[in-house]
Amino acid sequence: MDKRSDSVEDEKSHYPSPADFDVYLPWASIQLQIPYTIVITRVEQDEYISPSFSERGKGRKATSKPKEEIIDQDSDMARSGSNSGRTVDAPKPDHVYIYTIYDSNDALVQLKFLNNLLIPREVMKLMSLILPFQKRLTSVYINSGLLKDSLYELCKGVNQSTITEMILDNSVIPEANYYLFLDHQSPLKYLSLARCQVNDEVVKTLSIRLVPPFSASETLSILNLTSNRITDVGAQYLGEVLRVNRKLSYLNLAGNMITDVGAESILDSLGKFVLKDEEVAQSKARYMSYLRLKNEMVNKALLELRTGDFDRRSAKRKSIKPVAVTQKKSKGLEKEVSVNLPSMYNSMDVAWIDKAEAAVEAQLGTFQDAFRLENISTKNGTVYCLGNNALCYLNLAYNSLSYFSVKKLYNIVSLQERMHRKPKGLVNVCIEGNNIPVCCRELTEIDLIIDTGLTTSRKLSTISKKKMTAKMK
């Protein structure tokens, strides 16, 4: 019996660990008799650079690059080094090809599914189970072979992992259930759906999840919708999002079918706009939800504090021997004690409440809302709200814009400059490839305002770094 148990233990000790992604995934696939062969290619990188920040977006100025290259400039293939691993010339239908990218510390940081004919649900479900073991994995790129069921399994794994970047460029799914990545407690900061045949209805499902109280409204910073089928309707959905969302800082809509009407919806959200009655009501509802959550957390913390204090007092009473009370106490002393006891407990309650509220505020933070009082002003009975100043990059290249959008953009950039808010607002705009003048006063002024703002920002950053260095010395 002991020999058998020892042999079983020895056999288990030879099992690969889920932390070893390259070995465990193919091994587990064989053990579960999944009828697909997992082919993993390991790629080493001396220094890993996040694909979402490895190359800054281009500015508004004209360029000699061809249209396709400009539109694809933000794709993961162009920015994170698609040549880092060899590509498959003739992929087999029963094979799943995965490239694992490791940094200089031998940590898995990115997964690439390249040129797959099909990524079955079973493989994605198995992979999702071991994603929580990859503590440094932050990025996943898939360019083909994804189905709605496999995407669903991937979403479940992402929500339990450290993944913050999801690049699905060229992954066309007829059901278009991409919105699943923004459901529940979404950890994503970067979502790219370039060339995924995204239409207005898909944009609507995404937009719904980018407004409070959805968690994605507080996490997603980068949204790339390059080269899709988005019209003015979809642009209006995104314009509504930007009225209330103050987290999204990068929006790429290059290569779509947006006209001046859709561009105006987006740009209007960046300037001062008239607040709607339903938006005021929604803001009040969000504040009430915040207060309810805060009160629940305070009551819970208060209960924990009181219970802990009660346990400590009980332990202290047990450790102290009882002392006989003599009858020599004066009635005045007894009266004084009986009077002071309630006031002592009242002061203790106040101290507990203050401590509980401080702990909850540190965890929950103060109430943040786009329509909070400091952003609201009233003029002639009309309620106005300061526009979105969190969006700093906007790409509307190769749509159907005209000179009207150029003038609108100039007005918005000028207004943001005069407001001197932090963050500043737009610092990078791309509108080439539209039916706009090659050169005009508004374009020159836009370039000047943006360049001046960037120069000022760099100077302030340099001064801040010098002050920090001086303090450290």
Q: Does any domain span residue 296?
A: yes
Q: Which amino acid is at 114?
A: L
Question: What stretches in the chain show pLDDT beneath 50?
Answer: 6, 8, 10-11, 47-48, 51-88, 320, 322-345, 459-473
- Pair 122, 92: CB distance under 8 Å: no
DSSP character at residue 259: B
Q: Would residue 328 count as lying in a domain?
A: no
**pLDDT at residue number 173:** 96
Q: Give yes or no for a contact between 397 and 432, defined as CB atoms under 8 angstroms apart.
A: yes
CA nearest neighbour of 454 among 417, 403, 411: 417
Residue-level pLDDT at 278? 83
Question: 3-state class of 395 per DSSP?
Answer: strand
Question: Do the domain assignments include residue 391?
Answer: no
The length of the chain in residues reads 473
304 vs 267: CA distance, rounded Å: 49
- Structure-token pair, residue 95: 């094979």
Residue 389 · residue 421 · CB < 8 Å: yes
- CA–CA distance, 196 with 175 (Å, rounded to integer): 11
**Residue among 217, 157, 213, 219 at smallest CA distance from 188:** 219
Regarding beta strands 393-395 and 428-430, do their DSSP bridges make them parallel or antiparallel, or are they unpaired?
Answer: parallel
d(CA 159, CA 155): 6
In the sheet with 376-379, reading across from the earlier edge strand, the strands are: 273-274, 382-385, 376-379
pTM (two decimals): 0.79
Residue 7 inside a domain? The answer is no
Give the separation between CA 473 and CA 7, rounded to whole angstroms. 61
* Cα 21 to Cα 25: distance, rounded to the nearest angstrom: 6
Cβ neighbours of residue 82 under 8 Å, at least 6 residues apart?
76, 114
In a domain, 308, yes or no: yes
Rounded Cα gap, residues 17 and 324, in angstroms: 65
Which regions of 318-464 does DSSP assign to beta strands (E)?
Answer: 376-379, 382-385, 393-395, 428-430
191 and 218 Cβ atoms separated by less than 8 Å: no
CA 254 to CA 2: how far, in whole Å? 68
Q: Which residues contact 445 (CB under 8 A, 6 or more apart)?
A: 410, 413, 414
Residue 379 covered by a domain: yes
What amino acid is encoded at 150 in this protein? S
Cα 350 from Cα 347, distance rounded (Å): 5
Whether 127 and 101 have beta carbons less than 8 Å apart is answered as: no
Q: Which residue has the tokens 């006891």?
A: 341
What phi, psi does 360 have (nearest 5°)?
Answer: -70, -40
Residue 306 lies in domain: 276-314+352-383
* pLDDT value at residue 439: 86
The DSSP annotation for 58-87 comes to P-SS---S-HHHHHTTTSHHHHTTGGGSPP
- State both tokens at 81: 């080094």
**Per-residue pLDDT reduced to its tens digit, 38-55:** 999 999 976 445 544 444
Query: Cα torsion for 145, 148, 154, 159, to the nearest 10°?
Result: 150
The count of structural domains within the chain is 1
Q: Residue 307 has what pLDDT? A: 75
What residues contact residue 189 under an 8 Å CB cut-off, 6+ apart? 52, 164, 165, 219, 220, 221, 222
**Residue 280, in any domain of the structure:** yes
**SS3 label, residue 446:** helix
The per-residue pLDDT for range 352-409, each reduced to its tens digit, is 777 777 887 787 777 788 888 888 888 888 888 999 999 999 999 999 999 999 999 9
Q: Which residues contact 449 (CB under 8 A, 6 or more apart)?
A: 413, 414, 417
In a domain? residue 285: yes
